[in-house]
Every structure is written in structure tokens, then in C-alpha cells.
RNA sequence: AGACCUAUGGUGUAAUCGGCAACACGUCAGAUUUUGGUUCUGAAAUUCUAGGUUCGAGUCCUAGUAGGUCUACCA
């Protein structure tokens, strides 16, 4: 299967295969480098799958490295949630769990080395002044008045920065590169800043912290990462990434950029996700509408379906917007094979089968999954009064309506064929009760009636029905790209119908007994997962994704 | 506009390095079906523009156009 599948390589695999062919003893070593300041989302999943997947494909390794160089925003709590999410997705860093903060001492020595090479200096300019010195993309910058301090003075000042002699913001260490470079990142970038704050791992040991550009590439190098895969917005950082490595003369890791994942009707910026949570637009980081890994997990997405999705979206360098339909396809494809079927009626209306005795109960055999013979079967109770879906009956149906209506015939799934001969309407003209007769010789599996029924309905015996709460989720945004319009806040495109709660749907007994986290296909409806909010009295089911529906009420 | 990057059906991604533009999702139609699910078959739909090189260009060259990124003591 994998033989015929991967005839074509993505551009990163091409680079790797070329390296492998040309360099003897070459190893593939990647890393996944989250900053522990937020929850992982679907975009991170792409990066995780890429980094771990490519290492696995070429017999290499992947490190987990927390990019924790900013004590202001980072917390241990996030470290734990990130590790949980990666494991849940199905990847293992095999104990290679590192932290940029582990390298603070080495980084400090690296900085001293650059000072000695006259490639770094302590700058007393304020951040405003530094910003001013930078110039603009179209005009060159100007050099800082502190740029030509002596090596001795720089070394002294830098050590005193570390010793805590100076206030936050009063001094920084800068690389001495080129204030006229067309690349803004090369205009004497800041390497270290003073922050007298406790770090989640190093505590108060440090009051100077390295910037991303002076930490990330060096960490890659220390770990001898051969391929440092990151997203496109770091393209302009690559010359600086390379400059530091060359100036320091350390292991030459290589940064390769690929396009980040964008999925329609979702946002993935940390700031916007935070806004959704803090603004109360969702119920938390694991709200089933959130594109976070925690949200997708609670929504019912399987790890396998997310991995398949990440594989299908591909790796390239052009900006993209993946349709959510692809994600939905991936989870349906998975769940079709694995989810047990069950019957639940979301909007019930009562059917009375007049030629069944009121006391009669028959337990019918129902297969759990037609796609999987090993899934076995269960018993479903059938009796005189049942519920069917309100939308499965129509007073005056259109031409190709296969369901029930006056004087119509349908099959009840796993049971008998029934014929509707009477009904009651309420004041609003909606059906309130349906009266039928059944054909005793039409039982599923041993039908000798010869009667043909075009439609098959799901149903639940009224006296055995369990009440369940069902939560229907739809896209959080009404627009495919809620951040597209720069004049409008993305919150304006929040979908008011992203959550619909059905407080009292009815379900067959097996559903109420299922453990939290079990997934089902509600026949003819969709895939659902039992939510952690469930109680004994009130089981709760989240809609994962609806079944495809080629009917959709077409006329 | 200064630099860097990108441009292939509606959406993504390929095209064995110059040789009949394909795969997936989506859409539409049909078949099968005791889930209007699944499965199967078929259809519509693609190389940003203009020149050039070549027997032959999605691929090479030139010039445009469009989009993205960059001016944090964030990552």
C-alpha cells in the first residue's frame, strides 16, 4: 500500500533524499518546538505530523523542545497540556524532551564569544531609539552610538546585566551586523534583554533572557537538528539564523520553511483563540467548537482522522485555505469503519402500531456495524408505541420522498414494515401522533411478506427510550475566512447557531449505558461522542460530524 | 514600493527535472443498498498575463500582474 502511494515527494522530502544520497552518515533529526504559552491547535498538528512523520520515514529522530525564552508568558501548565496533546495524536519523543532554558548557560557563553569577535555589543538605547535606528524597509537604518564599545567594556557590561545591576529595558545585547541591510532582521538584532522575572523552570537564576533568534537556531544546533522545519513567516529570519551559526561556528542546522495550515471557518492565531475563550464566545479551550487539539478531542475527532487530514493537506510553500469538508471527510472515513451504530430520535413524534398488543415487547437483533462483522450485534426492544423522527413523516410529500406519510409504507430498521393509515395534527398543523399497522411476516432477516418499502427509518420504543441531551455543533464562523476583511473584527462573523442543544432526545438503552468518550453513529444522523458532562440521569452526546446527506429535502 | 517568498480545476496537492496535466476533497448524474450512510460508475471543471527559446513549455528565459512575509526588548 505504501509502495504505490508515495511516488511523489514533497519539497522537503526531496531535499532530504538528496542530502541522504550525497552526504555519508547523514541523519534526519527534526524537532517540534512549541512555546509553552498556549494550547496546541490543528495548525500545530500539521507541524507535529510533519516533524515526527518525516523522521520516522527516514529512520531519524524527533525532539520535543519547549521554546521557553520569555518568562512573562510561559507556564508549566501549558507544558503538560502540550505533552498530553502530542501523545494523544499518537507521537512519542522517546524521552528527548528539551527546553531552550536548559541552554541558557551555553547561550550566554555563545554571546560572550560574539562579543569577543566584535560581533555583538551592549546598547544603552531605549527600545524606542532602537526602533528608530532600524529605519524602514525602504530606507537604511543608522548605527547606535554605543555600537563601537570595546570588547572589554561589552564583556563587563554584559556580565553586569546578568548580575542584575541594570533595570529592565535599560540595556540590551545586540548583534553587530548591518544597519543598511535590506533585511530588517539583520539590522543589529537584539540578542538579550533584561527581564527581572521568574522563569517557570530556571526561577530567578536569570534576569537576562535570549531572544527567539538567538535561542532557536542555537538550540537546534546544540541538539544537532539537521532539519529545522518552520512556517513561512520565518523565511526572512533565515539569513540571521545562518549568520549566528556561522559566526559561532557551530553545528549547521538547516531551517526550511513551509506554508502554515489554514482551515476554512476556523481561526488559529493564539491571540484570537484567547479572545474567544476570554470573551465567553466559547466555553473554554476544549470547547468542541474550538480548533484546539483539546477541542477536537472533546468534539470526538479521532487521532487517526487528524493524522490522515494532515497527510492529505500536503506540504508546500504557497498560502492555502483547506476546506473544512476535508477534515470532515477524514473523520467520517475513520468512524464509518469503527463506530458502533445505534438509534436515537432527535425530534420525536409518537407512532402507535395498532395491531401490536400493548404488553408485547420483542427484542430484535441489530448489527453494530455493517462495515465490521466482528463488531457483533445487540438487542433492541420493539413494542406497540415507538418514536420516529418528526422529519420522517410528511403530510403532503414531494415526489421522491421515501419516508412516511398518509397511506405510505416504510421499513423500521432492524424490525418490520409498517403502513400509515391515520394521523393527528396539532393546532399548528404539525403531526402529533401517527397510527400504523405492521406486517408480522416482514421481520428483518426473515421477510416473507413480499412488500416493498422504499425508505427505512430509525426508531426507539417509547417505553424503553432513554432521554439524552444532544449538542449539535456547527462552524464557529459564518465566513470561510473570518479574518480576511481587515476592516471587520472576526468576532462579527461568529455563527450564532454554532451550538444547538437538544435537551431531550430519545435513545435506545445501550446509549445511556456507554462510557464517556465512546463514539457512535446515530443511524441516518451522524457521528456522536459521549461527553464528559454526562450524568447518570442525563447522558450528553456531542455531534462529531453529520452523515453525508444526498437528500437534504430536495424537491 | 526595499528585500525575501509564492502563483496548476471550486479547494488542496502532483506531474519521474522539456514529452498526452493527474490524485484527493467538493459539486452534479446514475447503479447498488433494510442507514437518502457505505460501496461502485460516470460527468463538469485546471497551468496568472504577454512575449521569447524549442519539433515540443505547467516546467527554461524576459517583462509584467496578483498574493504573502518583514520595520516586537514576542515566538
Q: Is the pLDDT of residue A475 over 70?
A: yes
Residue A2 has pLDDT above 70, yes or no: no
Q: How far is the CA of A322 from the C1' of B15 (A)?
A: 22
**Which residue in the list A113, A134, A254, A260 is annotated as catalytic?**
A260
CA to C1' distance (Å), from A489 to B19: 51
pLDDT score, position A303: 98
- Torsional class of A353: left (φ above 0), alpha (ψ -120 to 50), beta (otherwise): beta
- For the stretch A479-531, pLDDT in tens is 999 999 888 999 999 999 999 999 999 999 999 999 999 999 999 999 999 99
Please report which confidence band the pLDDT of residue A5 belongs to, taking 50, 70 and 90 as the band edges.
very low
- The CA-atom distances, in angstroms, between A104 and each of A15, A37, A453 are 32, 19, 74
What is the reported pTM?
Answer: 0.96
Q: Which chain B positions come under 7 Å from a protein C-beta? A: 1-8, 10-15, 17, 24-28, 34-39, 67-75
Mean pLDDT, rounded, of chain A: 96
- Distance from residue A11's CA to nucleotide B57's C1', rounded to whole Å: 22
Q: Confirm whether A399 is a catalytic residue.
A: no
pLDDT score for A8: 87
The active-site residue, picked from A13, A35, A56, A153, is: A35
Rounded to whole angstroms, how far apart are CA atoms A268 and A262?
A: 8
Q: Are the CB atoms for A364 and A444 separated by under 8 Å?
A: yes
User: What DSSP line would sit under A300-327, residue for residue?
Assistant: T--HHHHHHHHHHH---SS---B-HHHH
Identify the bridge partners of residue A467 per DSSP, sorted by sequence position: A506
How far, in Å, is the CA of A259 from the C1' of nucleotide B63?
28
Residue A552 — pLDDT band, cuts 50, 70, 90? confident
Distance A554 CA to B43 C1' (A): 21
In this complex, the residue with its CA at the shortest distance from the C1' of nucleotide B14 is: A8
Half-sphere exposure of residue A66: CA atoms within 13 angstroms, side-chain side? 29
Beta strands A340-342 and A519-522, pairing class: parallel
- In the structure, how far is the CA atom of residue A550 from the C1' atom of nucleotide B28, in angstroms? 11
* CA dist., res. A173 & res. A75, Å (int): 25
DSSP A449-494: S----SEEE--EEGGG-EEEEEEEE--SBSSSSTTS-TTS-GGGGB
Q: Find, among A469, A467, A416, A415, the residue nearest to A438 by Cα.
A: A416
Nearest nucleotide by C1' position to the A35 CA atom: B75
Nucleotide nearest to A330 (CA to C1'): B25
Which residue is nearest nucleotide B7, judged by alpha carbon to C1' distance?
A318
pLDDT digits 0-9 by tens, A70-116: 999 988 999 999 999 999 999 999 999 999 999 999 999 999 999 99
Q: In the beta sheet, which residues pair with residue A543?
A: A528
Q: Which nucleotide is nearest to A264 (CA to C1')?
A: B11
- CA(A181)–C1'(B71) in Å? 12
Q: Which nucleotide is nearest to A315 (CA to C1')?
A: B13
Q: Which protein residue lies nearest to nucleotide B39, measured between its Cα and the C1' atom? A: A371
pLDDT value, residue A119: 98
- Alpha-carbon distance of A271 to A261, in angstroms, equals 17
Quick one: which residue's CA is nearest to B4's C1'?
A: A236
**How far lies A259's CA from each of A11, A126, A307, in Å?**
12, 35, 17
From residue A415, give the alpha-carbon distance in Å to each of A105, A439, A497, A514: 73, 10, 35, 23
Catalytic hit among A270, A283, A317, A350: A270
What average pLDDT does this structure show over A529-536?
A: 97
Annotation marks residue A484 as catalytic: no
Whether A260 is a known active-site residue: answer yes
Question: What's the CA gap between A256 and A516, in Å, rounded?
Answer: 42
For residue A265, the tally of other CB atoms under 10 A from its CB is: 21
Say how far apart CA A443 and CA A135 lie, in whole Å. Answer: 82
Amino acid at each position: 500500500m505504501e509502495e504505490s502511494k508515495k511516488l511523489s515527494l514533497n519539497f522537503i522530502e526531496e531535499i532530504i533524499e538528496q542530502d541522504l544520497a550525497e552526504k555519508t552518515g547523514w541523519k534526519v533529526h527534526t524537532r517540534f518546538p512549541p512555546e509553552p504559552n498556549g494550547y496546541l491547535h490543528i495548525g500545530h498538528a500539521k507541524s507535529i505530523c510533519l516533524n515526527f512523520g518525516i523522521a520516522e520515514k527516514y529512520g531519524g529522530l524527533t525532539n520535543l523542545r519547549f521554546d521557553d525564552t520569555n518568562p512573562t508568558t510561559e507556564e508549566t501548565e501549558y507544558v503538560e497540556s502540550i505533552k498530553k496533546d502530542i501523545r494523544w495524536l499518537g507521537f512519542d519523543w522517546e524521552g528527548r524532551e528539551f527546553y531552550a532554558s536548559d541552554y541558557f548557560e551555553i547561550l550566554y557563553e555563545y554571546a560572550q564569544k560574539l562579543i569577543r569577535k566584535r560581533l555583538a555589543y551592549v546598547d544603552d538605547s531605549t527600545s524606542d531609539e532602537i526602533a528608530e535606528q532600524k529605519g524602514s524597509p525602504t530606507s537604511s537604518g543608522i548605527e547606535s552610538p554605543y555600537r563601537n564599545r570595546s570588547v572589554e567594556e561589552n564583556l563587563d557590561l554584559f556580565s553586569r546585566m546578568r548580575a542584575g545591576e541594570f533595570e529592565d529595558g535599560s540595556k540590551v545585547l545586540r548583534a553587530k551586523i548591518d544597519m543598511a541591510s535590506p533585511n530588517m532582521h539583520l539590522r543589529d538584532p537584539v540578542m538579550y534583554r533584561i527581564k527581572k522575572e521568574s522563569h517557570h523552570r530556571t526561577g530567578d537564576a536569570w534576569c537576562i533572557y535570549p531572544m527567539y533568534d538567538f535561542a532557536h537556531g542555537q538550540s537546534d544546533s546544540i541538539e544537532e537538528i539537521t532539519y529545522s522545519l518552520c512556517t513561512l513567516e520565518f523565511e526572512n529570519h533565515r539569513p540571521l539564523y545562518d549568520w549566528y551559526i556561522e559566526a559561532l561556528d557551530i553545528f549547521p542546522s538547516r531551517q526550511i520553511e513551509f506554508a502554515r495550515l489554514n482551515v476554512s471557518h476556523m481561526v488559529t492565531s493564539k491571540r484570537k483563540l484567547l479572545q474567544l475563550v476570554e470573551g465567553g464566545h466559547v466555553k473554554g479551550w476544549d470547547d468542541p467548537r474550538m480548533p484546539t487539539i483539546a477541542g477536537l478531542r472533546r468534539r470526538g475527532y479521532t487521532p487517526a482522522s487528524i493524522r490522515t487530514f494532515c497527510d492529505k493537506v500536503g506540504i508546500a510553500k504557497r498560502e492555502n485555505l483547506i476546506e473544512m469538508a476535508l477534515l470532515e471527510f477524514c473523520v467520517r472515513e475513520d468512524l464509518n469503519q469503527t463506530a458502533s451504530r445505534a438509534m436515537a430520535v432527535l425530534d420525536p413524534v409518537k407512532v402507535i402500531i395498532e395491531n401490536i398488543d400493548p404488553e408485547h415487547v420483542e427484542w430484535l437483533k441489530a448489527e453494530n456495524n455493517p462495515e465490521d462483522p466482528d463488531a457483533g450485534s445487540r438487542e433492541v426492544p420493539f413494542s406497540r408505541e415507538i418514536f420516529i423522527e418528526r422529519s420522517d413523516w410528511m403530510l403532503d410529500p414531494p415526489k421522491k420522498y421515501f419516508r412516511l406519510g398518509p397511506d405510505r409504507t416504510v421499513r423500521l430498521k432492524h424490525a418490520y414494515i409498517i403502513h400509515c393509515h391515520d394521523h393527528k395534527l396539532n393546532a399548528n398543523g404539525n403531526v402529533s401522533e401517527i397510527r400504523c399497522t405492521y406486517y408480522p411476516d416482514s421481520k428483518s432477516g426473515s421477510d416473507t411478506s413480499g412488500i416493498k418499502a422504499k425508505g427505512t427509518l430509525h426508531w426507539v420504543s417509547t417505553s424503553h427510550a432513554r432521554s439524552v441531551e444532544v449538542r449539535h455543533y456547527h462552524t464557529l464562523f459564518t465566513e470561510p475566512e473570518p479574518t480576511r476583511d481587515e476592516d471587520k473584527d472576526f468576532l462579527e462573523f461568529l455563527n450564532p447557531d454554532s451550538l444547538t442543544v437538544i435537551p431531550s432526545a430519545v435513545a435506545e438503552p445501550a446509549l445511556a449505558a456507554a462510557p464517556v468518550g465512546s463514539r457512535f453513529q446515530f443511524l441516518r444522523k451522524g457521528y456522536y461522542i459521549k461527553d464528559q458532562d454526562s450524568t447518570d440521569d442525563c447522558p450528553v452526546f456531542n455531534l462529531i460530524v453529520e452523515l453525508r446527506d444526498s437528500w437534504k429535502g430536495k424537491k
